[in-house]
Structure 1
Amino acid sequence: MLLSIPTPTTSAVEIGPLTIHFYALCIIAGVALAIWLGNRRFTRAHDGVDGVVADVAIVAVPAGVIGGRIYHVLTSPEQYFGSGADVVDIFKIWKGGLGIWGAIALGTFGAYISYKRIGASRSLPHFSHFAGALAPGLALAQAIGRWGNWFNGELFGKPLDAPWALSIPVRLRPVGFEEFETFHPTFLYESLWCIVIALTLIYMTPKLSGGAIFSLYVACYSAGRFFIEGLRIDQAHIFAGLRLNQYVSLILVAAGVLALSRYSRSKR
Structure 2
Amino acid sequence: MDIAYIPSPSRGVLYLGPIPLRAYAFCIIIGVVVAVWLGSKRWVARGGAKHTVGDIAVWAVPFGLVGGRLYHVITDHQLYFGDGKNPWNAFKIWEGGLGIWGAIALGAVGAWIGCRRRGVPLPAYADAIAPGIALAQACGRWGNWFNQELYGKATTLPWGLEIHKVQPDGSIVSGVYQPTFLYESIWCVGVALLVLWADRRYTLGHGRAFALYVAAYTVGRAWIEYLRIDEAHHILGLRLNDWTSIVVFVGAVAYLLIVGRKRPGREAPDSIDPAAHEDELTESAESEPDVPAGTTAPDAPDSAVTDRDKDLKNHS
TM range, smaller chain: over 0.9
Give structure 2 stretches of 5+ with no counterpart.
266-316
Larger Rg: 2
TM-score by length of 2: 0.79
Which residue pairs with 1:184 in the alignment?
Answer: 178
* 2:264 corresponds to 1:267: yes
- Number of positions where the alignment pairs a residue of Structure 1 with one of Structure 2: 261
Query: Residues 92-137 of structure 1, C-alpha deviation per residue, up to 9 Å, x if partnerless?
Result: 1000000000000000111012111211xxxx4x321110000000
Which residue pairs with 1:100 in the alignment?
Answer: 100
Which residue pairs with 1:235 in the alignment?
Answer: 231
- Aligned pair partner of 1:258 in 254, 259, 272: 254
Q: Quote the sequence identity (%).
A: 46
TM-score by length of 1: 0.93
Q: Distance in 2 between matches of 1:173 and 1:253?
A: 35
Structure 2 matches for 1:115-126, cutoff 5 A? 115-119=115-119, 124=120, 126=121
Amino acid aligned to 2:65: V
Which residue pairs with 1:195 in the alignment?
Answer: 189
Which residue pairs with 1:51 in the alignment?
Answer: 51
- Aligned pair partner of 2:148 in 149, 153, 160: 153
Change in CA separation of 1:239 and 1:218 when aligned onto 2, cut-off 3 Å: same
SS in 2 for 1:53: helix
Which residue pairs with 1:4 in the alignment?
Answer: 5
- Computed over aligned residues only, the root mean square deviation of the Cα atoms, in angstroms, reads 1.8
Give structure 1 stretches of 5+ with no counterpart.
none
The answer on whether the counterparts of 1:136 and 1:202 sit within 8 Å (CA) in structure 2 is: yes
Which residue pairs with 1:75 in the alignment?
Answer: 75
Query: Residues 164-219 of structure 1, C-alpha deviation per residue, up to 9 Å, x if partnerless?
Result: 100111535999995x6111100000000000000111111121224111001111
- Aligned pair partner of 1:212 in 208, 215, 226: 208
- Aligned pair partner of 1:249 in 245, 249, 265: 245
Q: Distance in 2 between matches of 1:188 and 1:173?
A: 24
The answer on whether the counterparts of 1:209 and 1:267 sit within 8 Å (CA) in structure 2 is: yes
Amino acid aligned to 2:188: C
The answer on whether the counterparts of 2:15 and 2:21 sit within 8 Å (CA) in structure 1 is: yes
Amino acid aligned to 1:150: W
The answer on whether the counterparts of 1:130 and 1:210 sit within 8 Å (CA) in structure 2 is: no
